[in-house]
A and B are shown apart, each in its own frame.
Chain A
Amino acid sequence: MSCENVERDLDAYVDHELDPDGATAVRDHLSGCAACRRRVAEREALGRLVRSAPYYPAPDRLRARVSARTTRSTSVRRLVTWAAAAVLVVSVGGGIALMRSTATRGDAMVNEVVNGHVRSLMADHLFDVRSTDQHTVKPWFLGKLDFSPPVVDLASIGFPLVGGRLDYLGGRPVAALVYQRQQHTINVFVSPERDGAFAAIDVRLVRGFHIHHWIRDGMSFWAVSDLNDAELTEFARALQAS
């Protein structure tokens, strides 16, 4: 691969948007070309620099105004939903409850994972223990849970661990590990896998949040974030391999 070709793919390479073959070709070229390595380093440094630019969170005034509007429209919508539900109950009676199965339990769990994530962001209760040190976060869970969650920092690949907290999912206490990627928060919920009910669930997009689920060494992991799918996949793979 020539420098010219690499230059064309430089941005896509830095942004992890090349297919695996393309990325390998660029990496091979970089190992023997200092000039292109410098170009990559420059772009990566620029990325860090740009991320140091101010992030403008929504002013409280705006949040209050928008919330006030949604509460109004939601109460109308809820009324309509309830009315529809009432009609449904009258027509099919209690039959619906029988249709609940492990599949819908999986859906319910996915929903709880997203709720847990949103709650942690909205209620401003992201951390019980705030630390980037895995050796501080891991012992913190001792005595608070009847299991010991594996805790690894992934700062080396751009996903620093920033803390942890206790949370509840499916009526059980779980360890929530919090990672950061640029402005995005990733929650990883860890608990012992008890009945294998959710083993089949892999990647989901629910209410605009990406979710990965996997089981390893008897532990169930749920990673959830508003991060894009490619980067959350990279994160989940790294965590699975750690």
Chain B
Amino acid sequence: MPPRLFEETVLPHLDAAFNYARWLTRNDADAEDVVQDACVRAMRFFSSLRDDDARPWLFAIVRNTWYSRVSRRPSLTEATPLDSARDQRPDDALDPEERLLQRHTVARVRAALEQLPVDFREVIVLREIEGLSYKEIAAVVRVPIGTVMSRLARARERLLAVLKPATRMETLP
């Protein structure tokens, strides 16, 4: 085997890394900073990757990078883990423009996801959008598989509660 090259091994997962970071941070600028820092770290730790799956490995680095930034700037509300204040926000609190946006399914789904506490949001994103297995999610988030399962179940219940009233789930595409 020729030596594994960073650009062949890790760079193909740059989109996935950014997507994950974007859902963690909920804004483009922070996601860019996080992924750039994460890539620098990934390069430094590249030799530790061996034959492991590069994508979960990169997710774990993105996550650690994000958490270390958050802990340096604890005042940032949107970066606070378990952000339940936003999660509880009733629709009535939205301004008319936001309410208009919410009529569109995609916008509604995005809003529902963004309002989930980050611990729930990330397991949903890793499972449903990135297609990671429970074992891979457990490795990225560094919790037992049982915790992954209970977070997923609770995240789905919350999403169903938010999305069900306006959309008949059975008839969705």
A binding-site residues for B, Cβ under 8 Å: 10-12, 15, 17, 38, 41-43, 45-59, 61-63, 65-67, 69-71, 73-74, 81, 107, 111, 114-115, 118, 121-122, 181-184, 205-208, 210, 226-231
Contacts and interface: CB of A to CB of B under 8 A. Distances in A.
B77 interface: no
A121 B7 CA distance: 13
B161 to A, nearest CB: 11
Contact of A228 (B7, B136, B149, B159): B136
Interface in B141-173: 149, 152-153, 156, 159-160, 163-164, 167, 169-170, 172-173
A49 B172 contact: yes
A216 to B, nearest CB: 26
Given A205-B53, A208-B57, A183 B5 contact: no
Nearest to A14: B156
A226 B13 contact: yes
Given A53-B113, A182-B128, 18 more contacts: A12-B134, A15-B134, A38-B170, A46-B169, A47-B128, A49-B109, A50-B113, A50-B129, A55-B19, A59-B28, A62-B18, A111-B2, A205-B53, A206-B51, A207-B4, A207-B8, A228-B133, A231-B133
Contact of A50 (B6, B51, B109): B109
Contacts, number: 162
A45 B170 contact: yes
Contacts of A206: 51
A182 to B, nearest CB: 5
B62 to A, nearest CB: 11
Chain B interface, >50% SS class: helix
A121 B133 contact: no
Contacts of A115: 8
B1 A107 contact: yes
Contacts of A227: 131
Interface string B121-140: 00010011111111010000
Interface stretch (B30-38, B82-90, B91-99): B30-38
Nearest to B32: A62
Sort chain B's interface into a size bin: 35 or more
17 contacts: A12-B134, A15-B152, A48-B172, A52-B105, A55-B19, A56-B22, A58-B35, A59-B32, A67-B11, A70-B11, A73-B43, A74-B7, A107-B1, A122-B12, A182-B130, A183-B131, A208-B52
A66 B37 CA distance: 9
Taking each of A41, A43, A58, A184, which has the highest tally of chain B beta carbons within 10 Å of its own beta carbon? A58
Contact of B169 (A45, A65, A107, A184): A45
